[in-house]
Structure 1
Amino acid sequence: MLFHVKMTVNLPHDLPADQTAEILQREKAYSQSLQSQGKWRHIWRIAGHYANISIFDVADNDELHALLSGLPLFKFMDIEVMPLLRHPSAVRDDDR
């Protein structure tokens, strides 16, 4: 199943710099691992915001929830999820 996920990060201003750096390092490694596995298909930064739009390709809602809640930044995020399916008027059968 494909999901459109908007993630907005709200790091506390009083979070120590070394703790922030460590969380961001773990977040990058985790997200890149999911991208390499093909589960996190696309990620785009939203200009002017500490946010992204991503496309996930997972088996079901439970898998998506498990992946998102595993994000090191999860507790600092506002997340919006929209399930996607191919439109009948699409001219391609893939994501090109």
Structure 2
Amino acid sequence: MGQTEYLVTMTTHVPDGVGDAEVAEVRSREAANTARLAEQGNVLRLWRPPLAPGEWRTLGLFAATHETDLERILSSMPLRKWRTDEVTPLDLHPNDPGAGVQPRDPESNEFLTTFTVHVPPNASDIDAVTTGEARRASQLADQGKLRRLWRLPEPGRALGLWQAADTEELAALLDSLPMTAAGWLAIDTVALTPHPSDPATAPAAAR
């Protein structure tokens, strides 16, 4: 059976009264369990989004055969007892460069972009713009800039994973998309920072 990919937003709230030693012990078990799940192909990527002071939140890209299987995977994680998970199923996008864990370029930063497409009712160049978008996405994938692209559950929305030197380069890359030039895209961007247990940045022995 094929696997579905999921974006999971994991927010941890340690209860009052829990000591630092217990937190450290649980985090150590979490890292070991994450390494095991990565070896099994269930944890594909982990990132930290921008955080407020004292906030503990992680974004994870998971693979599972179905949502029940995903719940089994998430329930196996030691931090789950202090955590809430928000799950977003991801669907294949025709312009996706390809699944799998791809090594992260340590010289680049990573970003998630949420695209919302609004095609004007009177648009007459839909085929040309759509074809150009696919061509440009392929070029950016070949350059190592566009890493992944998924369809989100809501119609007309997609999620992209990018590598760029900084926000200025990312903005230039997004501006080069034909749908951006046509004024069809609304884009929300989240800057990501590396997670110590990310399968793409740390060997299994170090996690």
TM-score relative to the length of structure 2: 0.42
**SS of the residue 2:116 aligns to:** strand
Distance 2:198 2:154 in 1: 33
CA distance 1:7–1:94, shift in 2 (3 Å)? same
Tell which structure's C-alpha radius of gyration is larger.
Answer: 2
Structure 1 residue 79 corresponds to structure 2 residue 191:
no
Q: Which position in structure 2 is the counterpart of 1:92?
A: 199
Distance 2:154 2:110 in 1: 26
Return the letter of the residue paired with 1:43.
L
Structure 1 residue 26 corresponds to structure 2 residue 129:
no
CA distance 1:82–1:30, shift in 2 (3 Å)? same
Distance 2:201 2:194 in 1: 9
Distance 1:27 1:92 in 2: 30
Structure 1 residue 7 corresponds to structure 2 residue 118:
no
CA distance 1:14–1:59, shift in 2 (3 Å)? same
Distance 2:168 2:126 in 1: 28
CA distance 1:91–1:15, shift in 2 (3 Å)? closer
CA distance 1:48–1:30, shift in 2 (3 Å)? same
TM-score relative to the length of structure 1: 0.87
Deviations 1:4-61 (A, max 9, x none): 1001110011112xx1101111111001110111100111111341111011001111
Cα drift, residue 94 of structure 1: 2.8
Percent identity over paired residues: 27
**SS of the residue 2:135 aligns to:** helix
CA distance 1:91–1:40, shift in 2 (3 Å)? closer
Q: Which position in structure 2 is the counterpart of 1:61?
A: 167
Q: Indicate the RMSD between aligned Cα atoms, in angstroms.
A: 1.6
Distance 2:133 2:179 in 1: 7
